[in-house]
Each structure stands twice: as structure tokens, then as C-alpha cells.
Amino acid sequence: MTPILQTDTGPLLHKAVEEAARLLKAGEVVALPTETVYGLAADALNPAAVAKIFEAKERPSFDPLIVHLPNKKMLDEVAEVPEDIRAIVQKITEKMWPGPLTLVLPKKACVPDIVTAGLPTVAVRMSKNAVFRRVADALGKPIAAPSANRFGSISPTSANAVVDELDGRIPLIIDGGACLCGIESTIIKVEAGSPKPIITILRPGPITPDDLKAFGKVKHLVRSVIDEATDAPGQLASHYAPRTPLRLLSKPEDFTPEPGKRYALMSYRGDASDGYTGLTEWVHVQILSPGKGKLPEAAVRFFYVLRELDGLGVDEIIAEPMFEHGMGIAMMDKLRRAAVKH
């Protein structure tokens, strides 16, 4: 069983940070909280340590990792920021870091190929989670940290969920409570453009197109779920998948329950007038944001609810669609990927 260290009081936090940093320095992996989801961390500049992330997650080597920096100054140590976007990158990191925004930039030679899956670019961010930042400061080096789940499975937003995914496979889990955003960071690519720089969203997330439009012309990398990713490798069609089959039901009229089958509902706001809650005798209904429905609240609960519904042993999970703007873009993208048969 993997030990879990708590962080609720000063002395507990101190001990947890010390132990996490000690293991990371020794080339081990540790599960850490971030503001997005829990990450499985290793020293990004130590290829043998990074290999342990791939092993624990059973992650294929073609899927690159995100590198988390302890401070903004360190960006130039891992990335070669092109001259023509230096000013805009500076502006973006100034405003958005620490926070759930990842930038893809040309990499420096010190970043091992295993981290970037052999790509000439590296994905970088700086977490604002206080526990994560303490550990990053104590290590004083960039940290590679993908989500702390088995490859393709539901991302963990609590220490308990990390236990479900990786218990016995890693030496330590730091419990920092629930994740404040609940969904993975927004990933962007920045290019020079006239009159404005061009910002392409490679993966939608908590930082929305609206949040980014102050920095340039925002483009979405629109790709159907059956497309294999080119720009954001690892953005695989089938992903974030519960073990239970999941169907994104665009219209309630499209549902005909099959006799003998057991269904659970992932409802956006649980309102009968939306036409979903009364469709059948649900084994269970989980509501993402009861009342009027708030997308950021739904995001916080999204992976938790999916994990709960997956644990019921029903035949199918039916998901209601959400508004496809703001954080709803990321959740709808994840629901589509979760619904792809694999």
C-alpha cells in the first residue's frame, strides 16, 4: 500500500513537503495535488525518474508530459522562446502564471527526449497549488507531472482517487484536498501574427478562449474525436474513459431504455425541465451543478462524478450535454472522448 501524507496543519505540511522533495531528489515519483488534477511527479531532468512515471501509469512512450516550473525565471532553462513571440509569451506568463495554462514552446537540450516523446517542443506550466509550489521550491528543478491515473482512465481530483488508480505502484501520495479547477490545464501554442499574435488552443481547459483573447487571435484546434492528434500528441480520441460504457445523449428524445439494462445519469443541473431526469428509472443520478448550473462548479465535480458513476456497475452511463462555452468546451470535449468505444 502506498503511504499518504496529509497537509492540513503547518507541521504536517512541512513533513509532507520534505518527504516528497527527498523522494524526487532520489529519482522517485510522488503523487502531488495541483489546482487542475493530481499529478504524478518526477524530476523532469532525470530520464530514469521520468521513466518511472510511464511505468506506473502504463503510459505509452509517444505521449509527452507537461513540465511544471518552480518559478517563471526557469522558463528559459527548459525552453528556447523564439524572438518573434518573446514579448507575448512574457505578457501571458506575467498574467496567467501561476495558473492552469500550459504553453508549448521549442525545447532546450537539457529536457530529456523521454519527457517530450522525442518532440522538438516542450509543454510548460507553473502550478498555483500551494502544496505543489512548496515541493517544487524545495526541489528547485522542473517537475514532469502528467495526471496521476492509469493511462486513458479518469483523472484523479482527490488523494482517494489517486489511491484507486496507483495504490502500490508509487512510493508516496501527498493529500492536498480537492483540486480547485478539477479539469486539466488549457494547452496553447503561440505564434507571431499580424496585427495580433495567434494563440491556438491545443487542449481546452479552465483558461477559456475569453480569458485568452486579450493576448491575441484565439484559434481552436477543431478536430473530430476520431481524428488522431497531430499537434497535441496524446490527445487521443478515446480518453478519460470510465470502464462503464458512456453515451453523450445530445437530445433526450434519442433515448429508449433497453429492457433489463441498468442506467445511471450524469446530469448537468438536475432540472426535470431539461428532459433527462424523467427518462427512465435511473439506478443513480449525479448532478454536476444543481440549481441554475454553473460551468466552473461542474468542472470541479466532473471527474469525481464520473468516477462515482463508474463504480456503480451499471450497464451504461448517460451524460447530458452542457453549454459549449467557457469551461463547458473542455468538459464536452472530454465527454466525447469518453464516449468513443475502445
* Cα gap 145→185, rounded to integer Å: 12
Q: How far is the CB of 229 from ligand AMP (least distance, A)?
A: 7
Q: How far is the CB of 270 from ligand AMP (least distance, A)?
A: 29
Q: How far is the CB of 34 from Mg ion (least distance, A)?
A: 12
Span from 67-75, 113-121, 141-149, 202-210 in contact with Mg ion (CB under 5 A)? 141-149
CB closer to ligand AMP, 131 vs 249:
131
* Cα gap 334→139, rounded to integer Å: 33
Q: How far is the CB of 63 from Mg ion (least distance, A)?
A: 8
Binding footprint of ligand AMP on the chain (CB under 6 A): 63-66, 104, 116, 119, 121-123, 146-147, 184, 187, 202-203, 232-235
- Mark 98-137 with x for binding to Mg ion (rule: CB under 5 A) and - for no binding: ----------------------------------------
Helix (H) or strand (E) holding 31: strand 30-32
CB closer to ligand AMP, 127 vs 147:
147
CB closer to ligand AMP, 65 vs 309:
65
Q: How far is the CB of 14 from Mg ion (least distance, A)?
A: 29
Query: Does residue number 147 form part of the binding site for Mg ion (CB under 5 A)?
Result: yes
Q: How far is the CB of 124 from ligand AMP (least distance, A)?
A: 9
Cell of 312: 456503480
Report how far apart, in Å, the C-alpha atoms of 101 and of each of 92, 236, 310 are.
Answer: 9, 20, 29
Q: Evaluate whether 101 touches 115 at the Cβ level (below 8 Å).
A: no
CB closer to ligand AMP, 4 vs 119:
119
Residue nearest ligand AMP by beta-carbon distance: 234
Helix (H) or strand (E) holding 17: helix 10-25
3-state secondary structure of 174: strand
CB closer to ligand AMP, 169 vs 262:
169
Report how far apart, in Å, the C-alpha atoms of 263 and of each of 7, 117, 272, 317, 318 are.
Answer: 38, 39, 17, 6, 7
How many residues contact Mg ion, by CB under 5 A?
Answer: 1
Residue of 7, 3, 12 lying closest to 132 (CA atoms): 7
Q: How far is the CB of 200 from ligand AMP (least distance, A)?
A: 10
What is the DSSP track for 50-112? HHHHHHHHT--TTSPPEEE-SSGGGHHHHB---GGGHHHHHHHHHHH-SEEEEEEEEBPTTS-
Strand partners, 68: 125, 143
CB closer to ligand AMP, 155 vs 277:
155
* The residue type at 293: G
Span from 14-22, 93-101, 140-148, 295-303 in contact with Mg ion (CB under 5 A)? 140-148
| Residues in touch with Mg ion (CB under 5 A) | 147
